[in-house]
Amino acid sequence: MRRPRFTHSSAILARPAHVYLLHFPNGKHYIGATTQALDRRLKQHNIGVGSKYCKRMLRLSGPAVIAIAVAYPTMADALVAEWQAKRNSWLLRRHCPICYPKPNGNQNTP
Ligand SMILES: [Zn+2]
């Protein structure tokens, strides 16, 4: 199996991180990983910096929202999870709470 190639410094790879699913108004999605605060990262996406794909979607569709965010102890863990999610992206998309709202309003109560 191929492994993801990390271009980040070891200092960044050791930091806590999030993997997130962005949902665009036109129903497109973007999977990313970041060590930054999620609201700060979302702002970057929504002013067209940080990702070429998101810049294009911003122009075509409008600002994204964070549909899913999962915390990982390190960026190295997050990048592996991001890589796996991108390989099987239908998995994450299928779980987008905006595209597939749950009848109970996405509450985690049983
Ligand atoms: Zn969605």
pLDDT in tens, 48-70: 997 899 999 999 999 999 999 99
pLDDT above 60 for 107? no
Tell me the whole-structure pTM to 2 decimals: 0.84
Task: Tell me the C-alpha distance between 88 and 91, whole Å.
Answer: 6
Cα of 67 vs centre of ligand 1, distance in Å, is 7
- CA atoms 6, 11, 12, 14: torsion sign: positive
Q: Can you give the pLDDT at residue 110?
A: 45
Task: Tell me the C-alpha distance between 58 and 43, whole Å.
Answer: 11
Q: Can you give the pLDDT at residue 109?
A: 47
- Higher-confidence residue of 102 and 52: namely 52
Span 86-97, average pLDDT: 86
Cα of 52 vs centre of ligand 1, distance in Å, is 19
Cα of 101 vs centre of ligand 1, distance in Å, is 9
Which residue segments constitute the domains of the chain, with CATH numbers given? 10-94 (3.40.1440)
